[in-house]
Structure 1
Amino acid sequence: MERKVNLGLMQMRCQEDNQANFDRAILHIKEAAGNGAQIICTQELFKSPYFCQVENPDHFDLAEVIDEKNPTIKKLSELASDLKIVLIASLFEKRAPGIYHNTTAVLDADGSFLGKYRKMHIPDDPHYYEKYYFTPGDLGYKVFDTKFGKIGVLICWDQWFPEAARLLGLQGVEIIFIPTAIGFSRAEEGTT
């Protein structure tokens, strides 16, 4: 059966004020839903500027526990329910003392928290010091059965490893979302 699903993909400039970023993201999500988006995906680590270009222990303060009790998840869950949208939100997760992940939370159109995906492939290149911050994911590649279809999530560098998409495909995924925070880096200008 053929069906149409409208997608909203969010990419915004972030400032140092995480609450202002979150509030602006809420406005963008509402705007996308108002324009007909049924599934909306934020950019990677949408509540802050991409902080992995430097190794700074202060950035660990940005991490939060990702579960139904978390205030961010509660707010996003209410938003998904009110707007009747599926929402994919990329966040910095604190799993346990000293264990952090680059994680997406998946919320269904009724606001239910379907689960999360933790980024598996963690780069450590000049200007991308993610191994300083993130532990590789341990939840596997999941397909989430949402109101609007079976979706999978990878995060940024995961896309360069085709087996990830293949494993999602074997599970019947219909749409794969890949939130990312980066594109072209000015630091790489003139390099090959």
Structure 2
Amino acid sequence: MKVSFFLTGRPGVGKTTVLLRIVERLKKQGFKVGGLVSREVREDGSRVGFKVIDLEDGREGWLAHIRQPVGPRIGKYRVCMRDLESIGVEAILKAIREADVVVIDEVGPMELFSQSFKRAVSEALESDKIVLGTIHYRIKTSFISKIKERQDVVIFEVTRENREGLPEIIIQKIQEIHER
């Protein structure tokens, strides 16, 4: 049976760092990995937004920015739906078609404004591909609850205590599934 893995944890604990370590190791082992990652962007030490990056080809755009003129608002940021969908959603759909492992960083409040994003996540989970993602720690929506309740989803909470050893545990599980 295919299994998907999601990392959760408090902001700043290292979810994306753990995920990127796993991705790097999987690529070295010959896995084809695709999907999207999000990274915060700082100017003069202050966070101004988040980029969305296609893992396969490196294309990037704004997920959200403090100076984004339009789009749904989350705190001081506005979500750039165009970049989220043309880069992020497309990266997920391409990974479903072409990769061994589909990466989704993150399933969180900004991304959930996009129905296309939610459909792409659902499609990835229903596919025969292994999904490796991050999921927002506190947000409670029916969409996130459905992901967490799936029998084929394993959730790992990233903590300061386990973040160094977690990549190896998850890589081992992915290898076992892939070898079946």
TM bracket (short chain): 0.3 to 0.5
* Greater percentage in strand: 2
Higher RCO (CA-CA < 8 Å; seq separation 6+): 2
* Greater percentage in helix: 2
TM-score, length basis structure 1:
0.37
Q: Which has the larger radius of gyration?
A: 1
TM-score, length basis structure 2:
0.39
